[in-house]
Copies of this chain bind each other. A is one copy, B any other.
């Protein structure tokens, strides 16, 4: 099969995701033309997934399409931005219509669910890699950032940590993770609704892609503060808890949960705004003056992890 670049893009990517009135011109011209509403800021983030680094060779293309977009949606969630548009740069070793169909299905279904339109892309030949840029909208001045945490703020994480890491570990050992666990690795559910609900409540937020140790470290460094985390309060599934391995929730990464800080005066608002969400949040510690993270074990001792999972290694 020898479809041209243009025919490929047209066929699979010309109408992916939601249809939006603020897309003046979508896929098929030199640029897409987008019309943000007056008074809104644009939140953008770009991420690349490379075969053999971020996903295993032979990964189901639909799961990859889902995940490539989910990673970006998780960044929008961390900023409290409403998803709007995505662009996709796809590098493929060969033209494979079935693979493209699967990828488009996984990407398109998640885009649709978040009201997001695919507005542009580029398809090139090369080793399998996917770059996705997401674009979200947020009222000027109301985005969540990493740099607002202050001593005395309470620290929270959503969902549970370490499931994706456990699923990957099982798969690399030749085991088949159970369905719920596998979904946490293959089809993460970005916390977009949570991010929107945290606007005006959280003092700082970050998404957990590299692991709590690394990502919370970034939030604290940007805010110029430190923290103590009570390990017994970290949300862990029964499977992760059973391993007794703290590296899963702290540095395995790929969780795509949110970590955020809330000032004492906003705790009541937090409780109220969480009532309608389908994800729970867990108080895990406290922001303090100084720097670094103290990881308190249930017995009162301290854990010293080696730091989060790094893509570049």
Of B95, B125, B133, the contact of A46 (CB 8 Å cutoff): B133
B28 touches A43 (CB 8 A): no
Of B29, B120, B133, B136, the contact of A146 (CB 8 Å cutoff): B29
A122 touches B48 (CB 8 A): yes
B-contacting residues, A80-135, CB 8 Å: 81, 85, 87-89, 91, 95, 119-127, 129, 131, 133, 135
Of B44, B88, B122, the contact of A87 (CB 8 Å cutoff): B44
B-chain residues with CB within 8 Å of residue A36 when the two chains form the complex: 36, 42
A146 touches B30 (CB 8 A): yes
Interface stretch among A264-272, A288-296, A305-313?
A: A305-313
A207 at the interface (CB under 8 A from B): yes
CA distance A120 to B48 in the complex (A): 13
B-chain residues with CB within 8 Å of residue A138 when the two chains form the complex: 33
Minimum C-beta distance from A195 to chain B (A)? 9
A46 touches B140 (CB 8 A): no
Interface stretch among A4-12, A158-166, A178-186?
A: A4-12
B38 touches A39 (CB 8 A): yes
Q: Across the two chains, which residue of chain B brings its CB closest to A92?
A: B312
B24 touches A35 (CB 8 A): no
A34 touches B45 (CB 8 A): no
B41 touches A33 (CB 8 A): yes
B125 touches A53 (CB 8 A): yes
CA distance A3 to B311 in the complex (A): 11
A34 touches B42 (CB 8 A): yes
B87 touches A46 (CB 8 A): yes
Contact A120 B46, CB 8 Å, known A136-B31, A218-B6: yes
Contact A41 B54, CB 8 Å, known A29-B146, A30-B79, A47-B122: no
A222 at the interface (CB under 8 A from B): yes
B-contacting residues, A270-313, CB 8 Å: 310-313
A225 at the interface (CB under 8 A from B): no
A145 at the interface (CB under 8 A from B): yes
CA distance A206 to B29 in the complex (A): 8
A46 touches B91 (CB 8 A): no
B-contacting residues, A135-156, CB 8 Å: 135-136, 138, 140, 143, 145-147
Chain A residues within 8 Å of B, Cβ to Cβ? 3-6, 8, 24-25, 28-36, 38-39, 41-54, 75-76, 78-79, 81, 85, 87-89, 91, 95, 119-127, 129, 131, 133, 135-136, 138, 140, 143, 145-147, 205-207, 218, 222, 310-313
Chain A to chain B: the 7 pairs with minimum beta-carbon distance, closest first: A50-B126, A31-B43, A30-B78, A5-B312, A38-B38, A131-B131, A127-B127
